[in-house]
């Protein structure tokens, strides 16, 4: 699957550039798009008796007329249902003209239980909630458990944000063209698309040179080139040293999950910095992971003077009864370089003064990586969180620009954003990850990769992918403790992929 994501506006631009360079004009691209959808339908539903094709007034509807004609030519019984005729002079009008089937009105359409429906009402051009009739049909299809195949996007879903502004279709299959759009990966769009197929409709790859997309699908191809591979000359500290700050005696498990995940992700050495009163409990549970007593921010400075780690994890299980903010600022000020992954309580501690964090991060030689879930995001970026006009992608980008950090905005559709404008949306998330402590493991993987000198944005993207990949492999019954032990097989597969690919 290609890694570039195009917004609907960028897709329109790709379309215009391709048409101006030929050989395909707009109607030829539409015929290619319709043919790609018809082929997917015939491949899956060849024995289908009746197929309903819903056509809108724009080019999405135009694709629908092509699909209807081709399915009819393949011997299927096809019914075309249209929400108004296409505008004269458009490619969609040409497609309607070439379709031999008479269109019935949408207002009279009632799907039979389990019927096959091709949704070609609205795609990239959706600008407002579905009209009354289209909204009624979307709800009727859901109630009738119709099998919906969406052309480009399920109608009602925004290609930019994945949001459903009101009613939307729920597809079992979505066939889109050339490149995915953010709306295919951001929830609830992702769930509404069902299986996604990206079809080649003849647009040349060279159109991307002019568009230079900055939003990407988080796949190994995005970060494989910088993925750490050990060399013969390395020793444990040069492979990367991670320090994880532990909570007090009652909450040490989270730090150990992060520490183990960092070690299993290839860091050569990992040390848990523990308060004195939790040393015994940490020592009882650690073997290859080192332990060092660090009681207060001054002790952080002393520890860093002895051996400054390449990456820190601060926050998991740390506890808000201690001045976490001072600890974070001490790390940002005292360290000579590297990365700090601020998670959980580390993020929450700055809820009243997020600017203090952003300023310290900007003047620190350390790179900051923030790993908020939705609640934590709202504590650091309340205005972005509350702005319903922004997509999750835009929120993450805004947060990265403001904080100067790499932001991993977690959830079923995790977005990773960098202050330089790059952003990636994760694709392999799985609800098995919704288990206590899985975020602590993620923070450890990020630190483990960053300590091996993987650039922070790449380390964040790779960690999110590996974390989800491990959870997918394990599946039912997964708990956070299982995740670090699954890393070796995920690592082995990543390292087996040719970096030139």
Q: How far is the CB of 460 from ligand ADP (least distance, A)?
A: 11
296 has binding-site annotation: no
Q: Tell me which of 42, 101, 129, 136 binds ligand NPW, using CB under 6 A.
A: 129
Question: Residues 264 to 303: which contact ligand NPW by CB under 6 A?
Answer: none
119 makes contact, choosing from K ion, ligand NPW, ligand ADP, none, with CB < 5 to 8 Å by partner type, with: K ion
Residue 236 CB neighbours (<10 A): 11
127 makes contact, choosing from K ion, ligand ADP, ligand NPW, none, with CB < 5 to 8 Å by partner type, with: ligand NPW
Q: How far is the CB of 418 from K ion (least distance, A)?
A: 32
Q: What are phi and psi of 273, to 5 degrees?
A: -90, 115
Q: Tell me which of 42, 45, 125, 430 binds ligand NPW, using CB under 6 A.
A: 125
**What residues are paired with 340 via a beta bridge?**
312, 368
Q: How far is the CB of 88 from K ion (least distance, A)?
A: 22
Q: How many helices (H) and strands (E) does the chain have?
A: 21, 18
CA–CA distance, 189 with 36 (Å, rounded to integer)? 21
Q: What are phi and psi of 4, to 5 degrees?
A: -75, 140
CA–CA distance, 140 with 353 (Å, rounded to integer)? 49
Residue 145 CB neighbours (<10 A): 12
Question: Residues 305 to 324: which contact ligand NPW by CB under 6 A?
Answer: none
Q: Tell me which of 65, 109, 177, 427 binds ligand NPW, using CB under 6 A.
A: 177
If you ran DSSP here, which 8-state letter would residue 157 be given? B
CA–CA distance, 302 with 305 (Å, rounded to integer)? 5
Q: How far is the CB of 123 from K ion (least distance, A)?
A: 5
Helix 8-21 × helix 26-44 angle, to 10°: 120
Q: Tell me which of 3, 6, 29, 396 binds ligand NPW, using CB under 6 A.
A: 29
Q: What character string, x for contact with K ion (CB under 5 A) and - otherwise, covers 129-158? A: ---------------------xx---x---
314 has binding-site annotation: no
CA–CA distance, 465 with 235 (Å, rounded to integer)? 27
Residues touching ligand NPW, count (CB under 6 A): 28
266 makes contact, choosing from K ion, ligand NPW, ligand ADP, none, with CB < 5 to 8 Å by partner type, with: none
Rounded to whole angstroms, what are the CA distances from 108 to 12, 81, 122, 215?
33, 9, 19, 41
Residues 316 and 255: beta-carbon distance below 8 Å: yes
Which residues have C-beta within 8 Å of that of residue 185, sequence separation ≥ 6? 5, 162, 217, 413, 425, 426, 427
414 has binding-site annotation: yes
Closest to ligand NPW by CB, 6 vs 480, is 6
Q: Tell me which of 63, 83, 91, 119 binds K ion, using CB under 5 A.
A: 119
Closest to ligand NPW by CB, 56 vs 346, is 56
Should residue 12 be labelled a site residue for ligand NPW when binding is judged by CB under 6 A? yes
Closest to ligand NPW by CB, 96 vs 449, is 96
Closest to ligand NPW by CB, 124 vs 257, is 124
């Amino acid at each position: 699957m290609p890694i570039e994501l195009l917004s609907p506006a960028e897709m329109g631009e790709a379309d215009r550039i391709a048409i101006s360079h030929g050989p395909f004009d707009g109607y030829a691209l539409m015929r290619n798009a319709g043919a790609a959808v018809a082929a997917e339908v015939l491949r899956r539903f060849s024995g289908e008796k009746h197929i309903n094709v819903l056509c809108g007034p724009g080019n999405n509807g135009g694709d629908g007329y092509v699909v209807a004609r081709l399915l009819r030519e393949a011997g299927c019984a096809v019914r075309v249902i249209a929400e108004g005729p296409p505008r004269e002079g458009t490619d969609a009008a040409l497609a309607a003209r070439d379709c031999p089937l008479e269109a019935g009105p949408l207002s009279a359409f009632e799907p039979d239980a389990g019927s096959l429906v091709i949704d070609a009402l609205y795609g990239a051009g959706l600008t407002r909630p579905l009209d009354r009739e289209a909204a009624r049909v979307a709800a009727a299809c859901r109630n009738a458990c119709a099998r919906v195949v969406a052309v480009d996007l399920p109608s009602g879903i925004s290609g930019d944000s994945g949001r459903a502004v009101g009613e939307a279709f729920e597809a079992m299959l979505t066939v889109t063209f050339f490149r995915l759009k953010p709306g295919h990966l951001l929830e609830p769009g992702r769930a509404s698309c069902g299986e996604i197929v990206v079809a080649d409709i003849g647009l040349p790859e060279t159109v991307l040179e002019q568009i230079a997309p900055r939003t990407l699908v988080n796949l190994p191809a995005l970060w494989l080139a910088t993925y750490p591979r050990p060399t013969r000359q390395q020793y444990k500290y040069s492979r990367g040293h991670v320090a994880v700050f532990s909570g007090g005696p009652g909450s040490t498990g989270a730090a150990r999950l992060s520490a183990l995940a960092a070690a299993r992700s290839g860091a050569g050495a990992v040390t848990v910095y523990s308060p004195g009163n939790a040393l015994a409990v940490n020592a009882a549970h650690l073997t290859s992971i080192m332990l060092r007593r660090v009681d207060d921010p001054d002790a952080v400075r002393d520890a860093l003077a002895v051996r400054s780690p390449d990456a820190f994890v601060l926050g998991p299980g740390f506890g808000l009864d201690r001045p976490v903010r001072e600890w974070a600022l001490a790390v940002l000020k005292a360290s000579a370089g590297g990365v700090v992954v601020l998670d959980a309580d580390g993020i929450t501690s700055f809820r009243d003064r997020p600017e203090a964090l952003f300023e310290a991060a900007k003047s620190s030689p350390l790179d900051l990586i923030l790993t908020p879930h939705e609640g934590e995001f709202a504590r650091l970026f309340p205005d972005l969180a509350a702005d319903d006009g922004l997509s999750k992608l835009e929120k993450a980008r805004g947060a990265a620009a403001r904080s100067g950090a790499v932001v991993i905005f977690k959830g079923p559709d995790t977005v990773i954003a960098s202050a330089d404008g790059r952003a990636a949306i994760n694709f392999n998330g799985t609800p098995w990850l919704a288990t206590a402590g899985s975020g602590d493991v993620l923070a450890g993987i990020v630190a483990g990769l960053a300590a091996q000198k993987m650039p922070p944005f790449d380390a964040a993207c790779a960690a999110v992918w590996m974390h989800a990949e491990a959870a997918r492999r394990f599946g039912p019954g997964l708990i956070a403790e299982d995740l670090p032990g699954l890393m070796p097989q995920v690592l082995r597969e990543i390292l087996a992929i040719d970096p030139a690919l």
